[in-house]
Structures are given as C-alpha cells and as structure tokens.
Amino acid sequence: MNADTDMDAVFSALAHETRRRILDLLRAKPGAAVGEIALAFDVSRIAVMKHLAVLEEANLIVSQKDGRTRRLYFNAAPIRMIYDRWTDDYSGYWAGEITRLKYLAEKRAGETAKKQKRGRE
C-alpha cells in the first residue's frame, strides 16, 4: 500500500464511533483480550471482531497471541503520521496567525478598557 491508501484506511477506521471507542479502551488498558473488549459493547462478539479487523487493517491495533487469548494493543503511529503530514507544513503558518490574533485581541481589549475608563472620568 502507498501512503495515501494507508491514510485512507486510518480515516475510514476512525470514522466509526465503535472503533474509536475500542481504541479508547485499548489505550486505557493495553493488552486487553478480545473478550474483554467485546463485553464493553451491546453487539455480538462477531460484530466486534469485524471492527477489530478494520482497525488491524489500518494498523491502528496490534494483536499478540497469548496461549488461546489474543491480546490487543493500540498503535498510535498511523495517526501520528497523519498529524505530521499536515502540521509540519502548516504549523508555523498557523502558529503565526494565532499569535497575530492574540495580539490583535489584546490591543482591542486595551483600547476598549481605555474608552470605558475615560467615560467614567
């Protein structure tokens, strides 16, 4: 797969609320068993397994066999790669814009305070 296809898989996986919830659970409890994850939802174990397959295809989870148990771990690397793709190019620009807006807001707030103070004198 190429980088865009990989990112498409990540966006697609993250588009579903249940899959985002699964990632939240795995982040809170790394190494949780598939059965533990399935208990957190009001759907069949098969439905949860389908969601896990989508997450695994997008490389958002890694599974490890532990005897008969399959342990699951959240892999944040694909999300980080998406973050890095856009923040590297645009972070400097937007940081400058936010700083400019901050200074503008402070200047206007100061001018408003001066006008209010002159009105009371």
- Kindly state whether residue 34 falls inside one of the protein's structural domains: yes
As beta bridge partners, residue 72 has 32, 63
**Cα–Cα dist 78/6, whole Å:** 8
- Same-domain status, 15 and 65: yes
d(CA 55, CA 12): 9
In a domain, 21, yes or no: yes
How many domains is the chain partitioned into structurally?
A: 2
60 and 113 fall within a common domain: no
- For the chain, strand residue ranges (E) read 32-33, 61-66, 69-74
Residue 84 lies in a domain: no
Rounded to two decimals, the pTM is: 0.71
Per-residue pLDDT of 44-91, as tens digits, reads 999 999 999 999 999 999 999 989 999 999 999 999 998 888 776 677
- Residue 82 in contact with residue 7, Cβ under 8 Å? yes
* C-alpha–C-alpha distance, residues 4 and 27, integer Å: 25
Which residues span the domain enclosing 109? 89-121
pLDDT confidence of residue 91: 74
Distance CA 98, CA 16 (A): 31
Q: Does the residue 83 lie in any domain?
A: no
My answer on whether 10 and 65 are in the same domain is yes
Question: Which of 38, 53, 75 is where one domain is finished?
Answer: 75
Distances (CA, A) of 35 to 23, 53, 69, 112, 119: 15, 14, 9, 60, 69
Do residues 10 and 41 both lie within one domain? yes
The CATH number covering residue 44 comes to 1.10.10.10
* Among candidate residues 96, 79, 80, the one with its CA nearest the CA of residue 11: 79
97 shares a domain with 58: no
| pLDDT one-digit tens code per residue, 86-113 | 776 677 788 788 899 999 999 999 988 8
Do 67 and 103 belong together in one domain? no
In single-letter form, the type of residue at position 16 comes to: H
CB 22 within 8 A of CB 36: no
